[in-house]
Structure 1
Amino acid sequence: MATVIVQEIIDQFDLEMISGDSGIDREIVTSDISRPGLEMAGFFTYYPAERVQLLGKTELSFFNSLPDSERNARMDRLCTLETPCIIITRNLDIPEELISAANEAGIPVLRSKSKTTHLSSRVTNYLEARLAPMTSVHGVLVDIYGIGVLLTGASGVGKSETALELVKRGHRLVADDSVEIRQTGDNDLVGNAPDLIRHLLEIRGLGIINVMTLFGAGAIRNYKKISITMELELWNEQKMYDRLGLEEDKIDFIDTTLPRLTIPVRPGRNLSVIVEVAAMNFRLKRMGINTAKQFNERLNDAIKNHE
């Protein structure tokens, strides 16, 4: 399971460390943020202690109105062994009771200049991206006319060579050889390259090339939403391939289903053009224009007219 440590949050959002620096290696395991307003009032029955705790003007104003006899008890219950960190927004003054309770539990207390709602949104988006379910597949991811196309197939079938030709035709490379796929939404898969091989392309007989260096920054993307997969396979004379485009194959990644095309490979076929046209045709289908279905309807009408 993916995790994020508190130190990453500090660096990413330029947070000020107030106390509890011994806990900067605490793990954050959920993207949900808690604003413990009810807890400030003493209701801890459903306290989500495992979340990042965000205290803003509302929470601290209420806390400061509490009698001294209750303030220490509230903060002691707020600072549990499961709590990764507590962030104070708007550069507000931090209650001594919070610092004392956090130090005892080893919880980092951080402070930000940002408004509470704004910081909550930014931290949530960051954690959702970092903690999203992830898998890695062998393939090539290319951005073709805004469509994220994942090319898969056996090693040596021609995926990288096809990607190189697509880059020369003005499209953009996202990842070659290994594609990290994260599910960022209910039906959204985003792919990127591992840091080690970002912007690199391997061509057998030529070696490793840097696409950004050769073709410029416009030839690459760091990440792209995947819309369709295309399986490249060596031509099998015994296999019947779809000739009309009426069949719709699917493939599952994590909890998301994507359409999949199978493209046979043999000498003389221009794979880059075929993949490019397939991406354009997929885009037309999303706009409601399905040429295969239209042709099939015209064919059925022609048969009926001749009966």
Structure 2
Amino acid sequence: MDNQVSVRQLVEDNELKIISGEEFVDSKFITVSDISRPGIELTGYFDYYPSERIQLLGQTETAYVEEMDSETKKDIFQKMSLDDTPMFLISRNLKPAKELLQKAQENHIPIISSKLPTTRLSSLITEYLDQQLAQRQSIHGVLVDIYGIGVLLTGDSGVGKSETALELVKRGHRLIADDRVEVYQQDEKTVIGEAPKILNHLLEIRGVGIIDVMNLFGAGAVRSESEIELIIHLEQWDQNSNYDRLGSGEQKQNIFEVEIPKITVPVKVGRNLAIIIEVAAMNFRSKRMGFDATKTFENNLSKLIQENTNNKKD
């Protein structure tokens, strides 16, 4: 099944500790990123119990449980231990009640612990699950970090995307993914791209083959993931096409309904694509900071036209 995370993976990726139920962590899966802090359930109210969520017990919940008698604890934890309950998570390395240990074991639910405070732990796990459970799609292209800006290079096969990425790496920029970019939506305005595990740090250059960028250029030449902030589409030069010369024709491309700025760059013999793309990224960053050379040119042109018009009137 897609869009699920095993408890084992969650534990290993977030440096958590298994208190009990080691034998269940591979067969228990998390399918939602929401986390439940079962305060109202501890009072006995289970009409809307979100059993499919991680059940997080912090200092408040633990202190409340300590005030219960043993039979009430057993009854509450039995009701909380359903088939689809993936795990109990305890913050601050707090000691779980023996009744929780008993009922969790009987119902094949692992109990996991963390040294982190409850709120911080909840944020960490939620962010992790949002990323792992997010809908993903694969885009044909190359993703490069240029001056901290995630630039997705797209275009037909053979147009020179990988070779351009190699030149950019040589110029000090960082490769994220070549050939295939796995993308997911982090929030309403952000799309993240990363390489499939099998292609991590690898770049294919026709005539040379597969090269390991990290091995050849060092750890500083690669990055595991990046926000996609700009798309640069490379296409073969067509003398009949009307290419944007002033930078005023803004394009957008939707990925997961997030609009991302897009630039089309024609590929022609003698053009240094790496430098053009590098400057395009710098210009994009400059615009984002409020400095727009196109607007400056248009303003200067308007002033010149106005001055000439006034001179003719005089």
**Does the pair score TM above 0.5?**
yes
Kept after mapping to 1: 8 A contact 2:77/2:100: yes
Give the length in aligned residue pairs: 307
Query: Which amino acid is 2:217 matched to?
Result: F
Structure 1 match to 2:292: 290
Please give the secondary structure, in 1, of the residue aligned with 2:89. Answer: strand
1:228 CA displacement: 0.2
Structure 1 match to 2:5: 4
Aligned mates of 2:218, 2:114 — CA distance in 1: 38
TM-score calculated relative to the size of structure 2: 0.91
Aligned mates of 2:175, 2:273 — CA distance in 1: 16
Counting only pairs closer than 5 Å after superposition, residues 1-307 of structure 1 correspond to structure 2 as 1-12=2-13, 13-19=15-21, 21-22=23-24, 24-307=26-309
Aligned mates of 1:293, 1:18 — CA distance in 2: 64
Please give the secondary structure, in 1, of the residue aligned with 2:154. Answer: strand
Aligned mates of 2:186, 2:229 — CA distance in 1: 13
Kept after mapping to 2: 8 A contact 1:84/1:107: yes
Q: Which sections of structure 2, spanning at least 5 residues, go unmatched?
A: 310-314
Aligned mates of 1:110, 1:221 — CA distance in 2: 31
Aligned mates of 1:97, 1:72 — CA distance in 2: 5
1:31-72: CA deviations, max 9, x gaps? Answer: 222111111112223322111111122112212212444322
Q: Which moves more between the two structures, 172-181 or 113-122?
A: 113-122
Please give the secondary structure, in 2, of the residue aligned with 1:117. Answer: helix
Aligned mates of 2:40, 2:171 — CA distance in 1: 58
CA RMSD of aligned residues (A): 1.8
Please give the secondary structure, in 2, of the residue aligned with 1:135. Answer: strand
Please give the secondary structure, in 1, of the residue aligned with 2:181. Answer: strand
TM-score calculated relative to the size of structure 1: 0.93
Aligned mates of 1:288, 1:112 — CA distance in 2: 44
Query: Which amino acid is 1:262 matched to?
Result: T
Kept after mapping to 1: 8 A contact 2:6/2:25: no
Aligned mates of 1:172, 1:218 — CA distance in 2: 7
Query: Which amino acid is 1:258 matched to?
Result: I
C-alpha spacing 1:23/1:161, structure 2 compared with 1 (3 Å): closer
Q: Which moves more between the two structures, 181-190 or 86-95?
A: 86-95
Kept after mapping to 1: 8 A contact 2:20/2:105: no
Aligned mates of 1:206, 1:22 — CA distance in 2: 47
Percent identity of paired positions between Structure 1 and Structure 2: 48
Aligned mates of 1:48, 1:22 — CA distance in 2: 20
Aligned mates of 2:134, 2:284 — CA distance in 1: 27
1:23 CA displacement: 5.2
Aligned mates of 1:226, 1:10 — CA distance in 2: 29
